[in-house]
């Protein structure tokens, strides 16, 4: 642990480091639970940071696209910043046009988490008071980062509420397997274990349809480069300026809460591979469409459009307003639990 800096109100922020026997290293801070770097080897054993981000607290405390952060209380979008639960309407903070995104104006990504070191892991805790950003019920959240010797980063999410509420948690890391700041991810080879995705309207809110990926740029059931689809004229791609969509993961034969294979990314030049395994029903694939050259990363290089990709394990966007989607309601006496693993390897 080391001091990473202080916020404007004087709150000190600390950085923690996890390192395994093979030299892989993961760093994160108590502000937003943000993962600041993930150093993994290429096929020649050379280590490089493959996570986009900054080397200072000032940039993280400013405007940025959720680099590496825990997002909640509700990751992704809620239409109109509004939902009804048990007959009561709740109005949320609107920070994405008329919608609420990633928990609102001051979501979990901008909160200070309390850290406790464990053997090979660090536990982060945050208590979200009732009414924070408009959400009902006080919520106690625990997120644990652990690193094993097989180069897998495990993220365990757990939460309990004292009143009915809705909850959707994820990590918003951006990856570039060539290395942070090394250029575009469009030549990365992607596989997603999904037969369907959820199309969106002009505000990127799901229409409620579960559309087949077959015959569309959303078909990643077999490995293919990101670039052709990212540049296609498909109406969904044009509306989102690229990939920014939720995929309905196949969970055939898996028990509730059991992690299953979600996605695989391969970068041919370095030989690095990232596999994503999760107990969640959905995966948001975002190809960094809105990255621009106003952002200078930890390497001192500018980030441009599609210089990183996010694979956010999640429940579906706008689920509180979509009765046919898997429920995101958390009730008193129940515990929310979710597991995601990012496994790194080489060809």
Among all residues, which ones are annotated catalytic? 172, 312
C-alpha neighbours within 13 Å on the C-beta side of residue 87: 0
Query: What does the alpha-carbon distance between residue 105 and residue 65 come to, in Å, rounded to a whole number?
Result: 13
How far, CA to CA in Å, does 42 sit from each of 46, 87, 342, 343, 347?
5, 53, 16, 14, 9
Torsion of CA 69, 72, 77, 81, to 10 degrees: -130
Query: What does the alpha-carbon distance between residue 48 and residue 276 come to, in Å, rounded to a whole number?
Result: 19
Query: What does the alpha-carbon distance between residue 204 and residue 206 come to, in Å, rounded to a whole number?
Result: 6
Query: What does the alpha-carbon distance between residue 273 and residue 264 come to, in Å, rounded to a whole number?
Result: 7
**Distance of alpha carbon 281 from the chain centroid:** 14
Count of beta carbons in the 10 Å neighbourhood of residue 228? 10
Cβ-contact 226, 187 below 8 angstroms: yes
Query: What does the alpha-carbon distance between residue 194 and residue 251 come to, in Å, rounded to a whole number?
Result: 9
Q: Three-class SS of residue 9? A: coil
The answer to whether the bond into 73 is cis (omega within 30° of 0) is: yes
Cβ-contact 75, 314 below 8 angstroms: yes
């Amino acid at each position: 642990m080391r001091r990473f800096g202080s916020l404007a109100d004087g709150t000190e922020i600390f950085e923690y480091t996890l390192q395994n026997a093979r030299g892989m290293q993961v760093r994160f801070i108590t502000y937003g639970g943000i993962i600041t770097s993930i150093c993994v080897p290429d096929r020649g054993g050379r280590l490089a940071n493959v996570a986009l981000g900054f080397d200072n607290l000032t940039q993280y405390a400013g405007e940025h696209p959720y680099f590496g952060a825990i997002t909640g209380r509700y990751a992704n979008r809620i239409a109109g910043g509004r939902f009804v639960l048990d007959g009561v309407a709740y109005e949320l903070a609107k920070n994405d046009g008329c919608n609420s995104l990633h928990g609102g104006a001051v979501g979990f990504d901008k909160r200070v988490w309390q850290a406790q070191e464990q053997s090979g892991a660090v536990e982060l805790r945050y208590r979200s008071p009732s009414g924070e950003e408009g959400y009902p019920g006080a919520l106690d959240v625990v997120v644990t980062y652990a690193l094993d010797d097989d180069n897998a980063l495990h993220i365990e999410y757990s939460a309990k509420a004292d009143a009915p509420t809705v909850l959707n948690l994820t990590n918003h890391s951006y990856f570039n397997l060539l290395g942070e700041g090394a250029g575009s991810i469009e030549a990365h080879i992607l596989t997603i274990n999904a037969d369907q995705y959820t199309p969106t309207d002009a505000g990127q809110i799901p229409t409620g349809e579960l559309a087949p990926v077959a015959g569309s740029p959303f078909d990643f059931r077999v490995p293919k480069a990101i670039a052709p689809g990212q540049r296609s004229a498909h109406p969904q791609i044009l509306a989102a300026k690229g990939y920014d969509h939720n995929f309905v993961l196949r969970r055939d034969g898996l028990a509730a809460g059991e992690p299953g294979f979600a996605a695989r990314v391969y970068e041919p030049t370095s030989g690095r591979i990232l596999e994503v395994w999760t107990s969640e029903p959905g995966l948001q694939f975002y190809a960094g469409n809105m990255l621009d050259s106003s952002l200078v990363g930890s390497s001192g290089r500018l980030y441009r459009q599609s210089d990183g990709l996010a694979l956010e394990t999640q429940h579906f966007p706008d689920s509180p307003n979509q009765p046919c989607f898997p429920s995101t309601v958390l009730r008193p006496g129940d515990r929310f639990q979710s597991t995601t693993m990012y496994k790194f390897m080489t060809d």
